[in-house]
Amino acid sequence: MGIVYVEGCYDDCCREPYSRNKRKYRDEYDRGSCFPQYPPCPPYPPFPSDLAARLAAAEATIASNTARIAALEAQVGAPIDTIRAQFQANLNNTVTVNTSFDVVSGTVTTVGIDAAELTTPTGDIFIIPYTSVISIV
């Protein structure tokens, strides 16, 4: 179960919290009197009868959304080992890599721990971090 915080009045006879107007009302508070300019607080309203059921439903929704988010994150972000294995399988082959910064086509020349090196047909060399890879074709 979760935590429910319900804030009511600060005192039985005072609407202003002691901490807000310490200087102005300190003497009255210290003498034990309340703030006469404020009416007494109304009685606390009763808790809704379905509060526990509403809280359980909210927690179930949170758990469901957490599972859905984890599944979507697993689909979007492939583990680095999988990306490294794809580059390793295509070593010395031509691939097209869709990255977060551009689409790069070239020959995989080196596969490192956290990046791969591609050489384009024009001789340009790209070092692509695995964290930037969206797809490899």
Domain residue spans of the chain? 22-76, 80-136
pLDDT of residue 79: 78
Average pLDDT over residues 18-46: 55
In contact, 95 and 137? CB cutoff 8 Å? yes
- Is 80-136 assigned to CATH 1.10.40.30? no
- Tens-digit pLDDT profile for residues 67-106: 998 887 776 656 788 899 999 999 999 999 999 888 999 9
Our CA angle for 63, 77, 110, nearest 5°, is 160
Residue 93 C-beta-side C-alpha neighbours within 13 Å: 11
Residue 60 CB neighbours (<10 A): 10
- Which of 5-14, 22-31, 112-121 shows the highest mean pLDDT? 112-121
In contact, 45 and 12? CB cutoff 8 Å? no
Report the phi/psi class of residue 27: left, alpha or beta, with left for phi > 0 and alpha for psi in -120 to 50. Answer: alpha
Q: How many helices (H) and strands (E) does the chain have?
A: 3, 5
pLDDT of residue 105: 95
- Tens-digit pLDDT profile for residues 43-60: 667 777 888 889 999 999
Confidence of residue 37 (pLDDT cuts 50, 70, 90): low
- Tens-digit pLDDT profile for residues 101-128: 889 999 999 999 999 999 999 999 999 9
pLDDT of residue 111: 95
Closest CA to 17 of 42, 34, 1, 3: 34
